[in-house]
Structure 1
Amino acid sequence: MSAMDKIKKMLKGHEDQASTGVDKAGDAADDRTQGKYRGKVDTGQDRLKQQLGDDRGQDGTPPPPHA
């Protein structure tokens, strides 16, 4: 079992809290870098949320369907 599988298992049922934590961590990274890497941080946040099961975008909408 991979580390990501273990994390997903622990967070099952707590996706909203995990999403909030990802947002706070990204905001902290933006603050520390004075927004220099904001685009990369946002991309990382979105990808991590997808991995953890919270597929909503930054504006709260679901991502487009995969082709």
Structure 2
Amino acid sequence: MGLFDKARDLAAQHEDKIEDGIERGGDFVDDKTGGKYAGQVDQAQDFANNHLDEISGSDNVPPTTPVPGS
């Protein structure tokens, strides 16, 4: 099992905790900036959550990178 496989397994096992951390991080930035960058923070959170879904194997997001051999 390679490093990426281990990371994928851990992401799948702890997806809820990771998503909570992404949300808390965005809330922290919004709090510290008075919401001045709320749009950019939301985009970053969406980006991070989409890639987490990709890594963990969630089927609700299409892959952004081509699958070898397809």
Q: Deviations over 1:30-64 (max 9, x none)?
A: 0011100000000100110000118xxxxxxx67x
Unaligned runs of 5+ in 1: 55-61
How far does residue 7 in structure 1 lie from its aligned partner after superposition? Answer: 5.0
Larger helix percent: 2
- Considering Cα pairs closer than 8 Å and 6+ residues apart, tell me whether 1 or 2 has the greater RCO: 2
What is the total number of aligned residue pairs between the two structures?
Answer: 54
Q: TM-score, normalised by structure 2?
A: 0.62
Does the 8 Å CA contact 1:26/1:45 hold for their aligned counterparts? yes
Name the CA shift for 1:25/1:7 in 2 (closer, same or farther; >3 Å).
Answer: farther
**Structure 2 match to 1:23:** 23
Q: CA RMSD in A?
A: 2.5
Summarize the alignment of residues 1-67 of structure 1 with structure 2, pairs less than 5 Å apart: 5=4, 8-53=8-53
**Percent identical:** 37
Unaligned runs of 5+ in 2: 55-59, 63-70
Give the aligned residue type for 1:22.
I
Measure the CA separation in 2 of the matches of 1:37 and 1:10. 31
Higher-Rg structure is 2
How far does residue 9 in structure 1 lie from its aligned partner after superposition? Answer: 4.7
